[in-house]
Amino acid sequence: MTAEPASIIGASVERLEDRPLVTGRGRFAGDVSFVHQLHMRIVRSAYAHARLKAVATEAARALPGVVAVWTADDIADLSPIDFREGPNEKLAPFRQPVLAREYVRYAGEPVAAVFATDPYIAEDAADLVTIEADELDAVIDASIPASEFTAGLTTEPTVCRQGYGDVAAAFREAANVIDMDLSVGRHSGVPLETRGAIGHYDAARDVLELHGAAKVPHKNREAMARMFGRSTAGVHLYEGHVGGGFGVRGEIYPEDILVLVAAMRLGRPVKWLEDRREHMIAANHSRQQRHRIRAAVDAQGRLIGIDDAFFHDQGAYIRTHGTRVADTACGILPGPYRLPHYRVDAHFRLTNKTPAATYRSPGRYETNFVRERLMDAIALKLGLSRIEVRRRNLVSPEEMPYERPLVALGDEVVLDSGDYEGLLNKALERCEWDRLEREAAERRKAGEYVGLGLAMYVEKSGLGPIDGARVNVHTNGDVEVITGGASVGQGFETVIAQVCAETLGTDYRRIRVVHGRTDRIEYGIGAHATRATVMTANATAVAAGKVRAKALDMAAQLLQTEPSKLTIRDGRVVNSDGSDSAGMPLGDLAHHLRPLSSTRGEREPGLAAEGWFTTSHMTYPYGVQVALVKIDPGTGGVHIEKMLIAFDIGRAINPMLVRGQLVGGFAQGLGGALFEEFQYDERGQPLSVTFADYLMPTAHEVPEVDVLIAEDAASTTNPLGIKGAGEGGIAAVGAVIASAVDDALGGKGLITQIPITPQALKAIIDGQKS
Amino acid sequence: MSGRTSDPREITLSINGTVHKVAVEPRRTLVDVIRDDCGQTGTHIGCEHGVCGACTVLVDDEPLRSCLMFAVQADGRSIRTVEGLQTGDALHPMQEAFMRYHALQCGFCTPGFLMLAVAALEKRPDLNREELVDILSSNLCRCTGYENIVKAVCAAAADMKANLDASP
Ligand code: FES
Ligand code: FES
């Protein structure tokens, strides 16, 4: 008897990705270059809102080294940038043109593009392009009454409505009504690598290539092929290393289209790298919403109904996501609580700001803040503890699967599995809530501003509907997994290799995982909505299972035994009873399966297989976050003394990476809770355009985080039982920090907006003192 | 006409011991020249404002932000970048620790952190955790939440010190 080797699923192994990255051999967008390439520089609007009169390009064209300068007229044949999910007639007029025509609607909007032989020359030339325009009033506040935006377009392209039950009756019945006005500031992913795009037209093969792609290469290929009237076989996207995605990288932006069109028309490769200032005003913003929310509550603090009207500050155009963030917010707002009656109106508003779209945990970071503020307010009003009010409302395990007549990401909301109260109890015990609460109260009595906060939330992951992968064993025993997934730095290759290794019985370090390449696989879902692990991993397991069966079958013939008596260990097919120690290496079996092999028999050539995984619903991981904070009353600064994230992910493939995702997400969430905000003046001028005025947390601000990874509720929607972890760390940070800071101020419900800036806090504290 | 201030100037940079003779315009930043003229793309650009630290390299063993310096200012000086950390196939203890402690996700900030930490510890091997956090807080990472970077650097500090004590 030989003991089965320990499972590699669930092992915190080192990442396959790391070696090139720690040795400076990565290949980020900026590292991609082609011979004879041109460099593009975008001329951007300095106005937030203006009618264009003239764009003068002569001086720029005259500069030696400049090859072309384009304005809207030069690309008049190109349509505005379409929605990822396909045409939408109602929203079509609000799409962003590749270069502004007639009007500019935000400071930073592309107006012209300069192509030159050197990036410094391109920048010099861009400075010589002058824009003549009549400035118009800028709309900065999304919650003022809807009006005309520009030229026949309204500031409210649509109102997303969801709900069920009888909300009016709920409020008639209610013993208590809570009313709140809550706001989330404008912030975004801000990856450390700015965007980059390199367009290359290979005339010899008639293939148009985009390098520097990310996130959803296959979807983007389809959209681009549509836009250029080419077949998808003639458009390929290549993802290299990506310096952080967070929802922002990898969408189709004007610059991506421009490098491709220029590569074709100018006949030379075209490289564009965004600078940091551009990133802050050009890449997608996110988050900004103002909720006017009311809750109907019975005498015991149980929710009867919620009525919410919120204003979603979309910025100047509707980009590739359409109204997805607002829709998701509507669908996910009720979170882990029972809610008999619900109505939400999402006023989808345009303003003269950089357009917004998804940022890690879109629609949830915002609504977790809103709903959890509401729960704290209910507790306060009814004189209940914040824990008790939550206990009374949580959906119980017996009620799972719990269907809600709501839609999130186009998918009906069905909470698949979970023991919310169980996780709450675990979290309270782990952080010693009662002790912390007592101590915080004592310290407050002694004059300190110390507070404890709690937030509960339901995340979503594994958006389907389908994904495939191909597993191929080479004759030397190395394995290649070809996926349509994408990697934005989260450890995708390692996780997929672990799943493949588990099924195939081979060393994960001998597995090479391909992603982000449209020329290697026809279909792919990419990496967004925390779906990569769930979808691609399950597809990989299916494909690897087929390869395994084929290897055993081939080996059984050669060893003259039954496949059922064989297994694979360390890359060799061996007797499962351990009687034959040598075994047959997988590489040898691949050799036997070559097309010309005489031993192959009737089997399909190749030790390879394709696997597909389909799911009808998303899976819903869930979490509890606890924070202990201390405010410095002199400066208004907030110090996090203790932080706990408890998160149930069904099953962790690599706990070290899960932890990394949760802690990293937390740090980003902390930025949005305390520091980060894209601010504008009343003329619509962006004020947060560098890292000196858009403040991201440093090693000083981020505390050590206690992470409790629970695996109590395996997902019922996929065979591996996994739920994604990508967004679980960030999702409730705004909520929990607000709860804690509020508690530090005496628990009066004073914190109604994030980020909670030092200035705002100091003002509250000074006000309390006087 | 010669002698215009914008004309390219011949400079010599030693990068990880290899001498590069390049002609550069005086306005070109050191990081651009390291990356584009010398082909060493391991050093990254995250802001060009001197805030993020992704471009940190060692100039005469001093950690500097190569986006804030003109290449001509580095003429004749000795530069170390992430590509020079390893010895043959053997990684530097700092690189090893970053892998072991999962101190990188996307890896874009990593070269800057590696160079910053190595420079600090080469000069002062006894830096404690608090001092190291202080130093590391001058660079930005958007992925990791820093915890694992701090752990890795503390672990590498011990390894580097052990190596130092072991060498004659
Ligand atoms: S690129 Fe030099 S400090 Fe950011
Ligand atoms: S690992 Fe991505 S920025 Fe640090």
Bridge-based pairing of strands A466-473 and A608-614 is antiparallel
Over residues A351-379, the mean pLDDT reads: 97
Same domain for B80 and B36:
yes
Per-residue pLDDT at A1 exceeds 70: no
Are B19 and B72 part of one and the same domain? yes
Last residue of a domain, one of B84, B101, B130: B84
Whole-number Cα distances in Å, A8 to A495, A549, A654, B38, B101? 10, 19, 8, 42, 18
Residues from chain A that touch B44, judged by Cβ atoms under 8 A, are: 28, 30, 192-193, 243
Co-location of B55 and B36 in the same domain: yes
B155 domain-assigned: yes
Q: Tell me how crowded residue A159 is: count the other CB atoms within 10 A of its CB.
A: 15
Question: Domain ends where: A557, A585, A614?
Answer: A614
Are B78 and B103 contained in the same domain? no
- Please give the distance, rounded to the nearest whole angstrom, from the Cα atom of residue B67 to the centre of ligand 1: 5
pLDDT for residue A334 is more than 90: yes
Which one of B43, B59, B84 terminates a domain?
A: B84
Q: Between chains, do A244 and B105 touch, taking CB under 8 Å as contact?
A: yes
Query: A15-49 burial by CB neighbour count: b if 16+ within 10 A, else e?
Result: bbbbeebbbbebebbbbbebeebbbbbbbbbebbb
Answer whether residue A281 is part of any domain: no
Which ligand 2 atom is nearest residue B113's CA? 4
**CATH number, residue A116:** 3.90.1170.50
User: Which residues, 6+ apart, have CB-to-CB distance to A225 below 8 Å?
Assistant: A231, A232, A234, A235
CA neighbor of A645 nearest in space, from A516, A471, A511, A455: A455
Residue A439 contacts residue A634 (beta carbons within 8 Å): no
B102 is a domain residue: yes
Looking at the structure, tell me whether residues B97 and B80 fall in a common domain: no
Report pLDDT for B121: 98
Shortest-distance atom of ligand 2 to CA B105 = 1
Q: Do A667 and B146 touch (CB under 8 A)?
A: yes
Does residue A644 share a domain with residue A690? yes
Do A489 and A569 share a structural domain? yes
Region of A437 on the Ramachandran plot (φ > 0 left; ψ -120 to 50 alpha; else beta)? alpha
Per-residue confidence band for B168, with pLDDT thresholds at 50, 70 and 90: low
Integer-rounded Cα Rg, in Å, for chain A is 28
Is B119 in CB contact (< 8 Å) with chain A?
no
Furthest CA-CA distance within chain B: 59
Are B53 and B97 found together in one domain?
no
CA of B34 to the centre of ligand 1 (A): 14
**Could you report the per-residue pLDDT of A624-678, keeping only the tens digit for each?**
999 999 999 999 999 999 999 999 988 889 999 999 999 999 999 999 999 999 9
How does strand A289-297 pair with strand A572-575? unpaired
How confident is the model over B88-95, as a mean pLDDT? 97
The H or E element that residue A345 is part of is strand A341-349
Do residues B75 and B15 touch, judged by C-beta distance below 8 A? no
The answer to whether residues A681 and A760 belong to one domain is yes
Residues A297 and A384 in one domain: yes
Residues B72 and B139 grouped into a single domain: no
Q: Rounded to whole angstroms, how far apart are CA atoms A240 and A223?
A: 20
A450 and A483: one domain?
no
Q: Are residues B160 and B129 in the same domain?
A: yes
At residue A499, the 3 state secondary structure works out as: helix
Tell me if A501 sits within 8 A of A480, measured CB to CB: no
CA distance A263 to A269: 5
In the predicted model, is pLDDT for residue A714 greater than 90?
no
Residue that is last in its domain, among B84, B119, B140? B84
pLDDT score at A29: 97
A526 and A431 co-located in one domain = no
Task: Please report the DSSP string for B99-167 in residue order.
Answer: HHTT--SS-SSHHHHHHHHHHHHHH-TT--HHHHHHHHTTS--SSS-SHHHHHHHHHHHHHHHHHHHH-
Domains: count for chain B: 2
**Are A193 and B95 a contacting pair at CB < 8 A?**
no
Residue range A47-78, pLDDT digits in tens: 999 999 999 999 999 999 999 999 999 999 99
pLDDT at A724: 75
Q: A483 with A472: CB under 8 angstroms?
A: no
Question: Which residue, of A567, A598, A614, is where some domain finishes?
Answer: A614
Of the given ranges (A552-556, A577-581, B155-159, B163-167), which has the lowest mean pLDDT? A577-581
Q: Would you say residue B3 lies in a domain?
A: no
Buried b or exposed e, range A666-691, using 16+ CB within 10 angstroms: bbbbbbbbbbbbbebeeebbbebbeb
Going by C-alpha positions, the residue among A10, A16, A5, A19 that lies closest to residue A510 is A16
Kindly state whether residue A13 falls inside one of the protein's structural domains.
no
In a domain, A283, yes or no: no
Minimal C-alpha gap between B31 and chain A (Å) = 12
For helices A733-744 and A655-670, angle between their N-to-C axes, nearest 10 degrees: 50
Q: Supply the CATH number for residue B58's domain.
A: 3.10.20.30
Rounded to whole angstroms, how far apart are CA atoms A313 and A137? 17
Is B106 inside any structural domain?
yes
**What is the number of the ligand 2 atom nearest to the C-alpha of A243?**
2
Contact residues, chain A, for B52 at CB < 8 Å: 192, 691
Question: Which residue is it, tokens 């932080």?
Answer: A643
Decide: helix, strand or coil at residue A544: helix
Tokens linked to A109: 């909007």
Residues of A in contact with B49 (CB under 8 A): 276, 690-692
Same domain, B15 and B68: yes
B156 lies in the same domain as B120 = yes
pLDDT score recorded for residue A412: 82
Q: Cα-flanking dihedrals φ and ψ of residue A306, to 5°?
A: -130, 135
Q: Closest ligand 1 atom to the C-alpha of B65? A: 2
Number of Cβ within a 10 Å radius of residue A381: 16
Which pair of structure tokens corresponds to residue A249? 């990288």
| A208 assigned to some structural domain | no
Same domain, residue pair A740 and A683: yes
- Per the structure, the count of domains in chain A is 3
Tell me the CATH number at B116. Answer: 1.10.150.120
pLDDT-based confidence at A721, cuts 50/70/90? confident
List pLDDT tens digits, range A202-245: 999 999 999 999 888 999 999 999 999 999 999 999 999 999 99
Same-domain check for residues A586 and A695: no
Confidence (pLDDT) at A488: 75
The whole-number pLDDT of residue A5 equals 55
Interatomic CA distance for residues A437 and A453, integer angstroms: 9
Does A162 fall in a domain?
no
Residues in chain B closer than 8 A to A276 (CB atoms): 46-49
Q: Give domain status of residue A608, yes or no.
A: yes
**What pLDDT, in 10s, does the model give residues A100-125?**
999 999 999 999 999 999 999 999 99
Q: How much distance in Å is there from the Cα of A657 to the middle of ligand 2?
A: 14
Amino acid B1: pLDDT: 40
Residues A632, A608 within the same domain: no
- Based on the fold, state whether residues A402 and A523 are members of the same structural domain: no
In a domain, A143, yes or no: no
Give A205-262 as a 3 state SS string: CCEEEEECCCCCHHHHHHHHHHHHCCCHHHEEEECCCCCCCCCCCCCCCHHHHHHHHH
Does residue A326 share a domain with residue A452?
A: yes
The residue contributing the CA closest to ligand 1 atom 3 is: B50
Binary contact (B106, A193; C-beta < 8 A): yes
Distance CA A600, CA B144 (A): 48
Residue to mutate, B35, B51, B59, B81, ligand 1, most ligand atoms under 8 Å from C-beta: B51
DSSP assignment of A697-756:
P-TTTPPP-EEEEE-SS--SSSTT-----TTTTTTTHHHHHHHHHHHHTTSSS---EES-
Find, in chain A, the residue whose alpha carbon is nearest to that of B53.
Answer: A192
**A438 and A503 share a domain?**
no
On whether both B21 and B44 belong to a single domain, the answer is yes
Q: What is the pLDDT of residue A581?
A: 66
Q: By residue range, what is the domain housing residue B64?
A: 9-84
Query: Containing H/E element for A643?
Result: strand A638-648
CA B165/CA B143 separation, integer angstroms: 34
Residues spanned by the domain of A762: 289-462+617-769
Closest CA to A748 of A380, A452, A388: A380
Cα A567 from Cα A66, distance rounded (Å): 64
Tell me what pLDDT residue A530 has: 57
Domain termination site, one of A574, A589, A614? A614
Give the residue from A13, A15, A18, A272 with the most B CB atoms within 10 Å of its CB, the best one to mutate. Answer: A18
Q: Please state the rounded mean pLDDT for residues B11-32.
A: 97
Q: What is the pLDDT of residues A453-496, one digit of tens each?
A: 999 999 987 666 788 999 999 999 999 999 988 887 788 999 99
Measured between beta carbons, the chain B residues lying within 8 angstroms of A17 are 107
Q: Which two tokens stand for residue A481?
A: 């997994």
Q: List the CATH number of the domain containing A760.
A: 3.30.365.10
- Whether the pLDDT of residue A3 is over 80: the answer is no
Question: Residue A264's pLDDT band (boundaries 50, 70, 90)?
Answer: very high
- Per-window interface: B 134-153 vs A, CB < 8 A: 134, 136-150
Cβ-based neighbour number of residue B128 at 10 Å = 11
**pLDDT recorded at residue B2:** 44
**Model pLDDT for residues B115-125, shown as the tens digit of each residue:** 999 999 999 99
| Segment A115-174, tens digit of pLDDT | 999 999 999 999 999 999 999 999 999 999 999 998 789 999 999 999 999 999 999 999
Helix (H, G, I), strand (E, B) or coil at B84: helix
Are B39 and B103 found together in one domain?
no
Q: Is A266 helix (H, G, I), strand (E, B) or coil?
A: helix
Q: Yes or no: say if A358 and A283 are a contact pair by the CB < 8 Å rule.
A: no
B2: in domain = no
Can you tell me the distance from the alpha carbon of A596 to that of A613, in angstroms, rounded to the nearest whole number?
Answer: 31
> Tokens in use for A599?
């031993």
* Phi, psi for A721 (deg, rounded to 5): 75, 15
Q: Tell whether B4 is covered by a domain.
A: no
